[in-house]
Amino acid sequence: MDACIKTGLDVVKICLVKETPLCEKQKICTAQDAITAISHELSLLDREIFCVLNLKTNGDLINFNIVSMGTLNISLVSSREVFKSSILSNANSIIAFHNHPSGNHEPSECDIAVTKKLYEAGQLLDIHLLDHIIVAGLTGNFYSFKDHDMLNFNHSIPYIT
């Protein structure tokens, strides 16, 4: 009896599904521009979420993707999931966001480790991590890794490349 069973190879199609726009498309040149684009949405949430803004080479917004929705104080972040929408969108760069519903805008050791991991993954994919911004609940405060010179793992990348 033949131990090898012949089966057909499935063909799959992967596509991006567009939803209702979050904000007007605009150019992102600074952390404040990025905050203006989505901070209101993040500040209202009662649990942590991790999301990305995908950008074109000239800094124009392509889209926004919620990568992970977590609990009160933690959200699971996988590089594969973070860059999935970026690859499908033909993004040149991303800005990562997550919120701290507690109102504390300081990064944890875990936040720093995740940022370094995403920076390195982006280098392999040729998709630049321009910033990782923490939005502190309803306080209006935020923490930009770029503004605090926390993205110098190898070299600095300007917002518009």
pLDDT in tens, 20-31: 665 566 677 777
**What is the pLDDT confidence band of residue 111, given thresholds at 50, 70 and 90?**
very high
The mean pLDDT of 111-139, rounded to a whole number, is: 93
Token pair of 124 as six digits: 């392999």
Contact assessment for residue 56 and residue 95, using Cβ atoms and an 8 Å cutoff: no
pLDDT value at 1 more than 60? no
**What is the pLDDT confidence band of residue 128, given thresholds at 50, 70 and 90?**
very high
158 Cβ neighbours under 8 A, 6+ residues apart:
none
Token pair of 99 as six digits: 């919120």
**What is the pLDDT confidence band of residue 9, given thresholds at 50, 70 and 90?**
confident
**What is the pLDDT confidence band of residue 156, given thresholds at 50, 70 and 90?**
very low
Q: Which residue has the higher pLDDT, 127 or 23?
A: 127
User: Which stretches of the chain are DSSP H helices?
Assistant: 31-43, 79-88, 109-125
- Beta strand extents in the chain (DSSP E only): 49-55, 61-69, 93-99, 128-136, 141-144
Q: Whole-prediction pTM value?
A: 0.80
Contact assessment for residue 66 and residue 77, using Cβ atoms and an 8 Å cutoff: no
